Structure formats: structure tokens, C-alpha cells
Amino acid sequence: MDGIKSYVLICGGANCTSAHKDEIVKKMKGKIKEVGLKTEVQVLPKGCFGLCEEGPIFVVYPEGVFYSHVQASDINEIVVEHLLNGRIVDRLLYKGIVGKNIVTSLNDSKIYKKQTRIVLKNCGVINPENIDEYIAYDGYMALGKVLTEMTSEEVVEVIRKSGLRGRGGGGFPTGLKWSFAAKAEGKQKYVLCNADEGDPGAFMDRSVLEGDPHSVIEAMAIAGYAIGGSQGYIYIRAEYPLAIKRLEIAIEQAREYGLLGENIFDSGFNFDVELRLGAGAFICGEETALIASIEGERGMPRNKPPFPAIKGLWGMPTILNNVETYANISQIILKGVDWFRSIGTEKSPGTKVFALGGKISNTGLVEIPIGTKLREIIFDIGGGIPNGKEFKAVQTGGPSGGCITSDHLDVEIDYETLIELGSMMGSGGMIVMDEDNCMVDIARFFLDFTVDESCGKCTPCREGTKRMLEILEKITTGNGEAEDLVKLERLAYVIKDTSLCGLGQTAPNPVLSTLKYYEDEYKAHVFENRCPAGYCHELIQYFVADDCKGCSKCVSVCPVGAISGVIKQQHTIDDDKCIKCGECLEICPFDIIIKK
Amino acid sequence: MMLEFDFEKNADKIKELKKMIEEKKDMKGALIPVLHDAQGIFGYIPKEVQVIISEGLNKPIAEIYGVVTFYSQFTLIPKGKYNIGVCMGTACYVKDSQKILNQIIKELGIDVGETTKDGLFSLEATRCIGACGLAPVIMVNEDVYAKFDASEVAEMLEKYK
């Protein structure tokens, strides 16, 4: 690479590539060639930087200058000004790194400084489609160490001592799971990776697979060695085409290099990995349902015990870990138990990746030590709530989790603390809500999801969630009755206690947690026919306030002719005709129309 | 929408599917990978195609129908030339993706899971597509519309008409 003076790193994560990045890359390469810098500047696609709100993202090295929101029309300026003339284009700089006339590097910015990147260490750093770059960052060294210096028992012991817990949501100790499968008898044992990231609002697994696919493959091989299995399967959502493509490339390259296949590192150990595509069923994130799906059946959960570690895929001992869990493994092997335990909390060492989304300034991925306070994540890293709105709640754990209020922002996040608050860690989606979100409607939204995704095997989940949804629909449309609230809660506990699998057992959580913390809102819907957040259509009323100028703009946009009034005089809205579309509120130049 | 499945017109596609079945029939758990192939080749999996798979893999058609209808990626009716997916993940939902969906339903006159009579558009309320940084998001085939608004629906549809 002689003669290369600058490197332009471009985020190749799904959020950025969706924002028309391909076109930008093409244009950039063209312009670089045009100004004669082709031999001096290299354009490199990288994994996700985690700052999805700021995309498309470019970083120019050696300066480490970080450009955000780059549009096709900005390319000529970056190439001519920065790459050719060496002058940084100030107006495109990411605002989080511009201090008093100094541009600091991304790692010193507020959003990165609070993070500890273990799982995401290579994301945004290496080219995920090139195995050499992964190897250059100590890739496959842990596999080499394990195969040449350690026994299987020692590997299991290291993972057990590290205290690593499953990052898919449940938090089961990974080492313990491995030790069960290692001890189990079977002529074949299987290593599975759960990449069926179905929680709405969570996309950390996607980013790891797109940005650092080898870290998962390497860890699966290590797991295979530890339990005595030679075949791995990655079960991945069909909705993630880019991640699938990068995994296919990575598996192919690893086979070429002899890092998958027979006699790896001359140790006599054989291991290979195959991809299996999901087909759009949330329940397949549950371990026994996932196994049924790989076997080619409907993804319906099975009774436990026997646990998969004893009797899993095709009746053989099987371990199943989530993508993020695997992404920790090789570094624990290389850096040791003490290092890993120095991060996070006593009970839950290490980090957790959260996907920040919803009503928050910096949406994107953040990796923080377990035990960090919610307030730090939302306000210091996430930048707080945009548009001057008030923070209302943060939803964690997806459809299995609950909402956490502002009273609990100083709780240190851990598997246990979240469960105490009526939520759960889940896969790490964190959706922030502001004053405009109705909590009853959010509960209805999640129930709608679980009703649709319930596999139908057991009655409490199949029928119970449907009845809960009906009650919630009654309440949000203004037909709720006092006894509905009692029924809702009773039903929730019955479903929790009697469902077969995790989906049903946790499906009532969004309802229970909102009932607990936002009982007032439920009561307002039921007893006062009012939605305090102004979201539930049937319960909103539009008014024209007293100082109406009579411009009649609202009359012209109202699709049902519900507004009447003489020009330059007070107008009124007929509530019987009004369909609550909100057009009048948006067009009113004097902000006289009020929604209640 | 019911469609006659034309064996003659689909002869090449049937041949392709049979080749895929032949390749995979000895693989463990072959059914779902084969269904992915079939969905890719025909764009949907009608009864006639299920019969071919049933014979090829030597599995009862009831089992195949059960699997096809269990997973949302497999469809029994063809999708439109342009398949519109409105993301209904939480991040998009809290940013008003329901309004976008309602507007599209209104403009196209079809419900979620349906295809317009002319076969041009089909509509889906998709699960989280993992592009939460761009919420609310809709997709038309491979085109992604980020930070979309219900007021832009008519203009967006016009592009494909």
C-alpha cells in the first residue's frame, strides 16, 4: 500500500447503506480518480460505527476527522477541500466532536468516551468482508490458543469463571450451559448461534454480524472444541440480507484459510458452520422453537426438560448462544478472566450493547459496562430527548419487557435490577418515549405483536393474549369499563403462570409494568374518556381557542367539512363530524387549534 | 385474489425448483431451505407448488402447508410488482408509522397482506427491519425511505405507477 496518504472509512452498516450510501461511494471514488488522487487515497467500507442517527458516516484518516450526514452533493467538496487541499470541511463535521476550534477524535467524543467496546471493538474498524483484517486485529488467535494450549475442560472453566451471561435476554451463565453439554453423551453435538434477532427495536446482533462476522464464527469453533461438537449452525433472520451475505463470505474465507473444516491448526479438531435462514417467526428466538425450525418444522417450543444441552437438535446435545454472547468469547480467552471481571458488576461482568431508538437525539448502538445508570445512557450518551419534549419512559426488553419511568433513571442496569422493575434486559433494545406517547397504546402495540406471533401451541398464550388485546382495544377506543382493569391484571398473571414458553410467560409484562407505573393513564381512558398523551384517536377532541383570527385556512383543509365560521370571525369544530385527522392543527398559522 | 396456476407457463420455474429439491433432499431439515427457494423462484407458494415439494421431499402436504402458513415470509398469494413494507417495529411505531400505514391503505384501497387488482402493489406491515436510526422507515422492494412521513405517501406511490 505504498504511497497511500489518506484512508476514507465509510460505514457499511444497514442504517447507513439504506441512506443511499452506495451512490455516494461511487461518486467519491469517481471524484478521487478525477482529481488524480487514486493512488494516494483509499476508500474502505467498514462495519457499523453505532451512530446511526448521524449517517451516512465518513471518517478520514490519518486525521481521524469524522463527517456525518454526508450527502451525494457534499462529495466534491470533501474530495477537493479535504483530500486535495488538506482543509477540513467544518460544516459537515459531526457536532459531538467539535470543541473550541479544535476537532477531537471520535474516541474522545462524549458519545464514545462513556462506552467500553468489547463486542463492537472491530465494528467500524475492519473491513468485514476481508478475513485478513480480522486476523490483523488478533482474529483467530483465541482459537489457535485454545486448540494448541488448552484442554476442552480448561476452556469451559475459563468461560465459567469469567461469569459471562447470555446476552440474548435470559442471562443464563454461558459457562454452565457449556459444561452441561460437555458432560452430555452423544455421538454428535451441535453448536448453534441464535441470530434471529426478533425484538423490535434491537439491532445489535445485526451490526455485529455485518461489522465483525468472524468474531462469531471463531467463538462457535471454540465452543465446538469445548463441548466436543464438530458442526455449527447460525440461525439468522431472512430479513437481514446484508448480514447473511457477509456471513457467507466470512464462512467461505475461513474455510479457505483452514480455520473451518478438518484438522484446524493441525490439532485434529474438525469444525464447520452452516447458515440456516429463518422465515419470519418471532417465536423462533426461543431455543427449542429455533431447534424445531432448523429441523424443518413449524417453530413451536418443546417442553423442558430435557434441556437442549442434553437433548437438542436432532436429539443430540446442543448449545445455543446469542450473537453478542459469542462476540465476547475470543477476548475472554485472550485477555483472561480477571480482565473481563474488572468490567461490569460482580454478578454480571462485562458489557452490554444497547440499541437506542425512539424519541432520543442520538439513535444508534452503544456498548456500556453492565451496571451503568440509565440516566447516563439516555442523557449523556443518547443526548436526551429532542424537540424540547419531556422524557416519559424507556422501554426495554421488547415485547417481553416493560417501561421504566423517570423515577428509576438512577438504577444501575443489570439483569436483576431490570426484572425488579418489571422489565427485563431482553436483547438490548431501548426505546425512549416522550410525553406524546400513550402508555396504554404502547401496551396495546406489544400485545398486538404477541397475539400475532404466538405459535398457538398452548392455550393461555394463544387465547389469553387475544383476550388481553381485546380489553386494551376497548380501553383505547374509549369503551373501557372499570372491571376491565381488574380483568386485565388477573388475566396477565394467569398467562404468566401457565404458559409453556418464555414468549407467553413474559407477554403480559408490557401491560403489568404500564399498569403499575401509569395507572393514572389507564384510569383517564376508562373513567374520563380522555387520553392524556393525546394519542388515542377516539378520545381526542379538537377545539378552536377563543382568539381565532378567522383566516379560514382550516376550513379549506378539513376533509369532512367539520369546521364552520365566517371569515375574520371565530370558527368552531363540530366534534360529531370531526375524524381527528389533525390537518387543521397542522395548517393553523396562529396555533389556535388545540388538541385535548 | 385467486389465480390459476399455469403449469405450461411455469415449466422452466418448475424445472428449477425440482433441481433445487434434488440438491437438498438428502440434507437434514431440508424443508425450510426448499421453501425459501420456491418463494424466490415463484414469488409465492401456491398449492400446486406445495404438491411438487411434497412429492420431491416425500413429506405429507399437510405438513408442508402447516409450515408455509406458520412463517410470515412464505405467502400463498403473489406479491405485487412493488411490495411495500411499512416497518412496525417499536422505534418506528413510536414515531407514527401507524399513520403512514393507514395512509397507504387509504391510497391503495387494499389491506395489509393484500395485493392490488392490477398486481402492481402489495402491502405488508413488517417486523422491525433493524434500521431504527432512520425511523420511521418504509421499503418498496429494495428502496428504503427513511424518516418518512404520511404526507409523502401519494408522491411516493406516484413514482411506481
Domain boundaries, chain B: 11-70, 82-158
The answer to whether A396 contacts chain B (CB < 8 Å) is no
Q: What is the mean pLDDT of residues A389-414?
A: 93
Per-residue pLDDT reduced to its tens digit, A224-256: 999 999 999 999 998 888 899 999 999 999 999
Say yes or no for a CB contact (<8 Å) between B144 and A19: yes
Q: What is the mean pLDDT of residues B21-44?
A: 94
The share of chain B scoring above pLDDT 70, in percent, equals 98
CATH superfamily to which A131-341 belongs: NADH-ubiquinone oxidoreductase 51kDa subunit (3.40.50.11540)
Residue A102's pLDDT band, with cuts at 50, 70 and 90, is low
pLDDT the model gives residue A216 = 98
| Residue B128: closest C-alpha in chain A | A200
Residue A103's pLDDT band, with cuts at 50, 70 and 90, is low
The share of chain A scoring above pLDDT 70, in percent, equals 96
Q: What is the mean pLDDT of residues A391-412?
A: 93
For A439-527, CATH gives 1.20.1440.230
Which grid cell is A164? 459471562
Higher pLDDT, A363 or A147: A147
- Shortest alpha-carbon distance between residue A339 and chain B (Å): 32
Say yes or no for a CB contact (<8 Å) between A15 and B133: yes
Mean per-residue pLDDT over chain B, rounded = 92
3-state secondary structure of A274: strand
pLDDT the model gives residue A97 = 60
pLDDT the model gives residue A99 = 53
Per-residue pLDDT reduced to its tens digit, A339-376: 999 999 999 999 999 999 999 988 888 999 999 999 99
Q: Which residues 95-114 on chain A approach chain B with CB closer than 8 angstroms?
A: none
For residue A213, CA distances in Å to A115, A220, A326, A340 come to 21, 11, 11, 21
The reported pTM is: 0.88
Per-residue pLDDT reduced to its tens digit, B95-133: 889 999 999 999 999 999 999 999 999 999 988 887 888
Residue A1's pLDDT band, with cuts at 50, 70 and 90, is very low
Q: Is the pLDDT of residue B2 over 80?
A: no
Which grid cell is A250? 466470512
Beta bridge partners, A351, equal A369
For B82-158, CATH gives 3.40.30.10
Per-residue pLDDT reduced to its tens digit, A270-318: 999 999 999 989 999 999 999 999 999 999 999 999 999 999 999 999 9
CA–CA–CA angle A16, A17, A23 (5° rounding): 120
For A6-107, CATH gives 3.40.30.10
- State the CATH architecture for A351-434: Roll (3.10)
Tell me if A571 sits within 8 A of A564, measured CB to CB.
yes
Residue A130's pLDDT band, with cuts at 50, 70 and 90, is very high
For A541-595, CATH gives 3.30.70.20
Q: Is the pLDDT of residue A398 over 50?
A: yes
Domain boundaries of chain A, sorted by first residue: 6-107, 131-341, 351-434, 439-527, 541-595
Residue to substitute from B92, B93, B143, interface A, most A β-carbons within 10 A: B93
**What are the backbone dihedrals phi and psi of residue B62, each rounded to the nearest 5 degrees, phi first?**
-60, -40
Tell me if A69 sits within 8 A of A56, measured CB to CB.
yes
Per-residue pLDDT reduced to its tens digit, A149-164: 999 999 999 999 999 9
CA–CA–CA angle A521, A526, A531 (5° rounding): 45
Among B66, B72, B90, beta carbon nearest to A429: B90
Say yes or no for a CB contact (<8 Å) between B130 and A197: yes
Cα B83 to Cα A440: distance, rounded to the nearest angstrom: 31
Phi-psi sector, B147: left (phi>0), alpha (psi -120 to 50), beta: left
Beta bridge partners, A165, equal A173
Among A203, A293, A359, beta carbon nearest to B130: A203
Judge if ipTM > 0.85: yes
pLDDT the model gives residue A415 = 93
Burial class (CB in 10 A: 0-12, 13-18, 19+), A584: buried
